[in-house]
Amino acid sequence: EALAVVICSALALYNALELELLIFTTFHAYRGLYFWSLTLASFGVIPYVLGFMIEYFKLSYLSLGTAIDTIGWVLMVTGQSVVLYSRLWLVFGNNHKRLLKFIRWMIIFNGCTFHAIVVVYGSRFGSRTVDFGKAYDAIERIQMCVFFLQEVSLSGIYIWKALDIIQTSDRKRSHHTMWQLFSINVIIIAFDIALLALEFSSQHVAQQTIKGLIYCVKLKLELAILNKLVDVS
Q: Which of 124, 110, 120, 133 is nearest to 205 (CA)?
A: 133
User: How many CB atoms sit inside 10 A of residue 92's CB?
Assistant: 15
DSSP 210: H
Query: What domains are there in the chain, each with its CATH number?
Result: 2-232 (1.20.1070.10)
**Burial bucket for residue 16 (CB in 10 Å: 0-12, 13-18, 19+):** buried
Q: Model pTM?
A: 0.90
Is 56 within 8 Å of 5 (Cβ atoms)?
Answer: yes
Confidence at 41, pLDDT banded by 50, 70, 90: very high
Q: Is 37's pLDDT higher than 80?
A: yes
Distance between CA 23 and CA 227 in Å, rounded? 11
Distance between CA 55 and CA 66 in Å, rounded? 7
Q: What is the pLDDT of residue 122?
A: 64
Distance between CA 102 and CA 139 in Å, rounded? 25
What are the pLDDT digits (tens) for 51-104? 999 999 999 888 899 889 999 999 999 999 999 999 998 888 777 889 999 999
